[in-house]
C-alpha cells in the first residue's frame, strides 16, 4: 500500500502497461513480414536442440553417478570433461536457436500481433502460476490454522465437523454438533 503512495508514476505506468497488454491486439503484420517471420521461425531446429539437451543430461547423469562424496578420481574427471563438452555443444545450439528466434521477433516487432500475443500469453501463464501457488498456500494455511484452533479435548471428528462447518459458512452446525456430542459423553 505504501509503495503506491510513494511511487504513483511507477504504479500508474505499470497499470497502464497491463491495460494496454490486455486490451490491445497489436498491429497486423504485412504479408512480407509474415513470410519473413515464418521462414526464420521454421529455420530454428528444435530437434537438434532437444538432442543436444538429451546428450548433455545423459553425460551429466553419468558424471554424477561416477563421482564420490568428496572426491572425483580420473574416471570421474574424464566423465566430467565429456559432460562439459556436451554442455558447450548444447549452449552453442541453444544460443543459435535463441538468436534466430530473436531475429524473427525483430522482424515482427514488439507491438505486432505476435509480440502482444506472446506478452499476453506470458502474463496469463505467470498469473495462473501465482493463482495455483496461492491456492496451495491457502490450503496449508487452513490446515495449520485449524490444527492451532483444535481444542485439547476435541476429537478428530469434532475438528472435521468444525472445519466443514466453516467451509460452508455453517458455524452453527459445528456448535450444535459439539453440544450434542458433549451431552452424549
**CB within 8 Å of 87: residues ≥ 6 apart:** 56, 59, 60
Cell numbers given for 135: 491456492
Q: What pLDDT, on the 0 to 100 scale, is given for residue 78?
A: 95
d(CA 21, CA 15): 10
Q: What is the pLDDT of residues 77-123, one digit of tens each?
A: 999 999 999 999 999 999 999 999 999 988 888 888 888 888 888 88
d(CA 162, CA 149): 10
83 in Cβ contact with 61 (< 8 Å): no
Amino acid at each position: 500500500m505504501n509503495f503506491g503512495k510513494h511511487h504513483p508514476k511507477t504504479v500508474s505506468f505499470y497499470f497502464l502497461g497491463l491495460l494496454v497488454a490486455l486490451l490491445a491486439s497489436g498491429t497486423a503484420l504485412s504479408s512480407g513480414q509474415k513470410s519473413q517471420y515464418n521462414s526464420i521461425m521454421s529455420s530454428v531446429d528444435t530437434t537438434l536442440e532437444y538432442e543436444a539437451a538429451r546428450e548433455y543430461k545423459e553425460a551429466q547423469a553419468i558424471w554424477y553417478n561416477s563421482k564420490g562424496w568428496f572426491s572425483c578420481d580420473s574416471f570421474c574427471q574424464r566423465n566430467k570433461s565429456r559432460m562439459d563438452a556436451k554442455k558447450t555443444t548444447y549452449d552453442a545450439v541453444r544460443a543459435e536457436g535463441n538468436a534466430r528466434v530473436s531475429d524473427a521477433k525483430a522482424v515482427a516487432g514488439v507491438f505486432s500481433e505476435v509480440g502482444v500475443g506472446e506478452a499476453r500469453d506470458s502474463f496469463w501463464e505467470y498469473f495462473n502460476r501465482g493463482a495455483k501457488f496461492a491456492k496451495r498456500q491457502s490450503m496449508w494455511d487452513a490446515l495449520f490454522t485449524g490444527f492451532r484452533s483444535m481444542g485439547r479435548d476435541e476429537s478428530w471428528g469434532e475438528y472435521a465437523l468444525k472445519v466443514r462447518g466453516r467451509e460452508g459458512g455453517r458455524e452453527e452446525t459445528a456448535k450444535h454438533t459439539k453440544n450434542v456430542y458433549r451431552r452424549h459423553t
